[in-house]
Amino acid sequence: MSDKEFTIPVVQDPVILAKLNAIEQ
């Protein structure tokens, strides 16, 4: 799950936040 490690600092972006939400669900 290295993907989450480098996506955490980018969670500030609303677009990435929405993408993470779709990936986590």
Domain segments of the chain: what residues?
A: 1-25
Query: 4-14 pLDDT, tens per residue?
Result: 666 656 567 78
- Whole-angstrom CA distances from 25 to 1, 5, 16 are 15, 17, 14
- pTM attached to this predicted model: 0.38
Question: How many of the other CB atoms lie within 10 Å of CB of 12?
Answer: 8
Phi, psi torsion values for 12, nearest 5 degrees? -65, -25
Distance between CA 25 and CA 20 in Å, rounded? 8
Per the CB < 8 A criterion, the answer to whether 21 and 7 are in contact is no
| pLDDT attached to residue 14 | 85
